[in-house]
Structure 1
Amino acid sequence: MAPQYQIRADYDAHTITVYQAYAPAVADAALRAGRFVAPFSFRRMTWIKPSFLWLMHRSNWARKPGQERVLAVRMTREGWEDALSRAVLTTAGPADVAQAAVHVQWDPERSPRGAALNHYSIQVGIGRDLIRTFADDWVVGLTDLTPTVRKAADLVRTGRAAKAAQRLFPAERVYPLPAALEGILSPGG
């Protein structure tokens, strides 16, 4: 897969961290239970993102209505790769996309200030048929990153401490994608 389409993530031997932004009621209930529970919706697609900065762009650093809380969702690499094996690129034909259990799209990665970069970040949409599997089997931990996000956002916004803000960002590196998945996820493949 071309370097501009590599998955960059915080991961270890068994898990990968993806990020999601929620309304406080959803985040609070999930954190109390230690897993996703109502009012989290099990009836609609949920999008997971291994890029912290892309989610910061998407949620406006946890300031967008309905996205005021940022969760780090630690999931099994087995679940992550299972989801990717079922994926269809959102640029595929409409019938293929409509029937897909998992949607994948590549969007420009973002700088801390939100500028589009020259490489892409993967977004993975887990469809309704897999949401329970995602929530009950693949997710192994939830962490509230909202205080860290707010601190980093203030540092980025003032511009006085860009390096200090970057120290608060999760360490992301190229994810070692199995060759069988590269063809599924490659925009040109």
Structure 2
Amino acid sequence: MAGRGPYAKTAATREQALDAALRIIAERGLSGTTVQEIADAVGMTKAGLLYHFGSREALLTAVLARREGIEVLGGEHGVLDGFVAALRANTSVPGLVALYSVLAGSAGSADADSEQRRYFAARYPLLRRVLAAEIEREQRAGGIPAERDPAALASLFIAAADGLQNQWLLDPDIDVAAHLELLADLVRT
């Protein structure tokens, strides 16, 4: 049975706005996108759009969360290869890489109760746990030396991925995926 009432309409409106924001930011980049353009794309006023999210930062954080729901972390050869593939895919949408970098970079100084800070405060530990579990699986299969600390490796891969993407935004000649593949090769030897 389809949802009814104002909540169903609000949820559908949020989904429509997130789809539009994801598309516009991917096409035009973060600096080339305004909240008004997103509102226009879904036939709303800026105030009406922000009503559904609470703030510009909450809207942008929701766009990131939507994007991360689309990404595939694992690869057929293991999590490290999947991580490399995700970074390779990210370079096809610089606007979303910029969105991630801006929000991640400012999350630490954001208000403790902000959507942005809560998102990253939850994202990093979850990603570390997922990566560490997959690294342990690769260790049991003999692909990564057993003496390497999976939690530390997970943190290093996340830091490398975030840093490489920031560098790539400033210098598109940097091959983010190749650099992360090199790190994966070093971890496996």
Shorter-chain TM range is under 0.3
TM-score (normalizing by structure 1): 0.23
Q: Which has the higher strand share?
A: 1
TM-score (normalizing by structure 2): 0.23
Give the number of the structure whose alpha-carbon radius of gyration is greater. 2
Q: Which has the higher helix share?
A: 2
